[in-house]
Amino acid sequence: MENRQKNYGSVHDTKASMMYNRFLKQYNEWLSGGPIPDTGNQDIKYFLSQQRKRLEKRGLHRDSSIELRGLLASAGAIPPKVGKKYTNVTEFRTAQRNTTYSRGGRIIGKFRKKEILYQTITFANEATVDGTEPCTCPSCGAVSQIKALFEGCPYCHTRFLMQDLYPKVANFYSIEDLSYSKEEIKRTLTPWCGGGAVIFTVFMLAYLAWERAKTGDPLTLYSMICPLIGYPVIGAFGGYMLFALKTLGYIFWRAMQSLGLLFATSGSKNRLIRFMKNYEPDFGYENFANQVIALAKNIIFSEPGEDLSIIRGPWDGESFQNITDIVYRGAMSVGNCWQEGPYVYADIDLYFCDTYDRGSSMKEKNDRIRMIVGKNIQIPQDPGYSIHQVSCESCGASFDAMKIRHCPYCKREYDMRDHAWTVMKIRKTGGKPS
């Protein structure tokens, strides 16, 4: 960790590492049935609550854990992305994820993965609050702690759109890790080398006995001393070489599979930044990526027919209903970007590894989620901490506009594009099984 701090020298390094470890601990507790991590932002909390509901609805029990692995280069950080309002620090650790799915007491799926687990921690550049400070409700004037207002004013029940109390984990994802720790190499090489030594020695001794039987020479202990010493060494080396070839072949095969992602995402970041700089000089690509990933996850784990404010167009909720877990693969491609009136739009492809419930078994599959997202560029976002009262422009009623698109009283539509990126279309396209 000292090398990481020396290389990047960020004032957020120590805090980011602490946040990473806190979120991982809380996330592991959540995987075991514990509370939702309070170190995650609002989007992560909503996603995790929806995912737990999905598992309960399908009658699935999941035992899962993420354990850090003993690699020499087991931790690190990507140089901080500093914007005008926020700084994003991405930390990573090498980890082992073990997951078991069961239904009715019968195991229907087991997954064991080595991965590099990334977390993006967002810091506000301006002075922030921790949520315990008093705040006056803009509607009724009652005083409450700021963090209490996330669920609405406890007195008048007015709902608000509120920015998170930073720092928060804004995104987490993983990619496959093909490296080995010292302990893993020992565990893996032992059967390969031992098996190679035994098989080669037995084969060569049998061949030697057969040759001597043909010539009539007796097989003596003295004649077997050199083979018993040399053959196991040669066999162990042969086992080691087979293991090396197998590992290199698998790495090459996975690299070939990743070429498609590499070409699909090439130039996407610069393309989007160039477009958005015309409208938002302080546009941050990392913040955008965190938002659209959260949008996709929250829609996928919503129920069909829900009146979501985060999506404006029709969506096929049924096609997502048998997805029980979704892991972002660290890849996003950006297609066309355009402006229509006060709104800007972008074609986005996100790449996930999804876990599907197939009734009697579980299956992992790589999917591509295609979206069009839009946002109002004529309404500036408030810098730093802010609170927005959500009230219907028609009847004045207050409601949770983060999750409800139409006023539950007069049915007037609430346009989330005025406050954040919103999904206009979303659909799932196929991918190759992992």
- Cis check: omega of the bond before 167, within 30 degrees of 0: yes
pLDDT at 345: 95
Relative orientation angle of helices 285-300 and 268-276, to the nearest 10 degrees: 110
Residue 7 falls inside a structural domain: yes
Note if the pTM is more than 0.85: no
Residue 270 falls inside a structural domain: no
Q: Which residues contact 353 (CB under 8 A, 6 or more apart)?
A: 326, 327, 329, 364, 365, 366, 367, 434
> Domain boundary residue among 261, 279, 300?
261
Q: Specify burial of residue 390 (Cβ count, 10 A radius: 0-12, 13-18, 19+).
A: buried
Residue 255 falls inside a structural domain: yes
Give, in degrees to the nearest 5, the angle at Cα 116 between 99 and 124.
110
Residue-wise DSSP of 318-343: GGGTTEEEEEEEEEEEEEEEEEETTE
- Nearest CA among 242, 241, 233 for reference residue 198: 233
232 and 116: one domain? no
119 and 202: one domain? no
120 and 210: one domain? no
DSSP 8-class letter at 421: -
Q: Give the pLDDT of the chain (434 residues) as one tens digit per residue.
A: 333 333 333 444 678 888 999 999 999 999 988 999 988 888 888 899 999 999 999 999 999 999 887 654 456 666 667 666 778 888 888 888 999 999 999 999 999 988 889 998 888 776 555 556 556 565 665 556 666 666 667 767 666 555 556 788 988 988 888 777 777 777 888 888 888 888 888 888 888 778 777 777 766 666 667 677 788 888 889 888 998 898 888 878 777 767 777 777 788 889 999 999 898 888 888 888 888 998 899 899 988 877 788 888 778 888 899 999 998 888 899 999 999 999 999 999 999 999 999 999 999 998 999 999 999 988 775 443 344 456 666 776 666 665 677 777 777 777 777 778 889 999 988 654 34
> Domain boundary residue among 179, 214, 241?
179
Helix (H, G, I), strand (E, B) or coil at 294: helix
Q: Specify burial of residue 182 (Cβ count, 10 A radius: 0-12, 13-18, 19+).
A: exposed
* Distance (Å, whole) CA 229 – CA 218: 20
- Residue 23: count of CB within 10 angstroms of its CB: 22
Contact 144, 153 (CB under 8 A): yes
pLDDT at 325: 93
Residue 189 falls inside a structural domain: yes
pLDDT at 107: 95
> In residues, how long is the chain?
434
pLDDT at 20: 92
- Token pair for residue 328? 């972002």
16 and 124: one domain? yes
pLDDT at 6: 34
